[in-house]
Amino acid sequence: MEYQGYTLYQISNHPTISTMERYVSWAGLDIASDANYGFYIRLKYRIWAFLDGVEIPISPDAKYVNLLADNSTCVNSAGQIVECGSPDSIGEYDYYIGLINEPIIIQDLIVAKITWADSEGKFNTF
């Protein structure tokens, strides 16, 4: 869905206001790769809410969600989150940096992370 120049991706309705439709738009990507600064990949998303097609303002502290990939979370060779130390586990940051020379469609990554984050309740900030 296009709205005010943004591409919005629909997520689940609000967890307690079932008629409130929610969407997210991609707000940015940060990659830190320096021992003094940190090692992480951050996908930033903006949350949008609508009741009967009318935008509902969201407070500034709840409007944005950062999804962080660092090595405190582990994934398997398919990029699925697993327990660190389990067979085939690798730090999530290391996994994505290992793909640096692979052709990746950023939109596919953005949408995959939206789907995962929504299923985990990561957008339930308000």
Q: Name the β-bridge partners of 39.
A: 33
3-state secondary structure of 7: strand
Query: Which segments of the chain have a pLDDT < 70?
Result: none
What whole-number distance in Å separates Cα of residue 68 and Cα of residue 77? 18
Q: Which residue has the tokens 């990554």?
A: 109
pLDDT given at position 70: 95
The reported pLDDT for the residue numbered 100 is: 87
pLDDT at res. 85? 96
